[in-house]
Chains A and B, each alone.
Chain A
Amino acid sequence: MVHALNEIHRVLAPDGIMIDLRPLAGNWPMEVATSRDFLEAGRVSDSPTGLEDDRAANESMTKAGTQKWFIRQREEYFPFFYYWDSPNEMKEYVDEHWADFITIDETTWRNVRSQWAVANADARLRVRVKMLITRWKKI
């Protein structure tokens, strides 16, 4: 990834801006959400792969700073929600797309299903993904 940052530095004009936008591991909350409120039904578990990806990315960005390729100007976290209409749809997606990064144990799934079953008719399930956005300026 350091090589990629070096390449980005090369193709950016003087004073160019690099935006680093990515999800971070963080045992994301699983929530039952209605039009009025939401209730946390459990949390996903970060996998070692996801944690290692974050560590490697953070290390590369730090190196881009110490190499004086970029200077960090601004950084924040924000939530990014994925919504599904039912636990089955959610599980199907998680199994297909997120199996490398998170796990969800059977007890948590049971809790999610039972909380969704007793919620209002408009209830949906969502995962609150932790996002990081950072603006770097080319030096």
Chain B
Amino acid sequence: MTLQKDPERTETKYLHQYADFTGKRVLEIGCGDGRLTWLYAKSTHDMVGIDLNADDLRVATIERPADAPVSFVRADSVCIPFIKEKFDIAILAWSF
């Protein structure tokens, strides 16, 4: 199958218009296989992606660039396993 998603990179353009990720601590809720994560993660201070789907998280972990300050955690958005005020930006990524 030759599916292509957003080759125009419109989503990337809007995401960066809406938030400056440089040096920020970012939480992505519903990160899935990391498709969205790789659009912004490299400029962050650190980024954590959470999702309930273990298979998607496995893909995201395998595809993680060695120099990306990124980690993935299997967790539910109704019980986020982090202390209060840990992040500067939260992204609800296609997760409703």
Where the two chains meet, the residues of A that have a C-beta atom closer than 8 Å to any C-beta of B are 1, 3-4, 7-8, 10-14, 16-23, 53-54, 56-57, 60, 74, 76, 78-85, 89, 92-93, 131, 133, 135
Closest 9 CB pairs of A and B: A57-B96, A4-B77, A83-B4, A3-B78, A13-B85, A85-B2, A7-B80, A19-B91, A18-B90
**Does B89 lie within 8 Å of A17, measured CB to CB?**
yes
**Does A4 lie within 8 Å of B18, measured CB to CB?**
no
Q: How many Å from the CB of A119 to the closest CB on chain B? A: 16
Other CB < 8 Å A-B pairs besides A11-B80, A19-B15, 14 of them? Answer: A8-B29, A12-B87, A12-B89, A12-B90, A16-B88, A17-B89, A22-B94, A22-B95, A23-B94, A56-B96, A57-B96, A76-B14, A78-B11, A81-B6
Q: How many Å from the CB of A22 to the closest CB on chain B? A: 5
Give the docked Cα–Cα distance between A14 and B5 (Å): 35
B interface: dominant SS? loop
B contact residues, range: 35 or more
**Does B85 lie within 8 Å of A12, measured CB to CB?**
yes
Give the docked Cα–Cα distance between A83 and B1 (Å): 10
**Does A19 lie within 8 Å of B80, measured CB to CB?**
no
With A4-B29, A84-B1, A131-B11: A11-B92 Cβ-Cβ less than 8 Å: no
**Does B80 lie within 8 Å of A8, measured CB to CB?**
yes
Chain B residues 10-31 with CB under 8 Å of chain A are 10-11, 14-15, 18-19, 25, 27, 29
A interface: dominant SS? strand
What 0/1 readout, one digit per residue, does chain B (23-53) give for beta carbons within 8 Å of chain A?
Answer: 0010101000000100000000000000000
30 A-B contacts, Cβ less than 8 Å apart? Answer: A3-B78, A4-B77, A8-B29, A8-B77, A8-B90, A11-B83, A12-B85, A12-B89, A12-B90, A13-B25, A13-B86, A17-B88, A18-B89, A19-B18, A19-B89, A21-B93, A23-B94, A76-B14, A78-B11, A80-B6, A80-B10, A82-B3, A84-B1, A89-B3, A92-B1, A93-B3, A131-B14, A133-B14, A133-B15, A133-B18
Q: Which of A13, A19, A54, A56 contacts B92 (CB 8 A)?
A: A19
- Which of A3, A13, A60 has the most CB atoms of chain B within a 10 A radius of its CB? A13
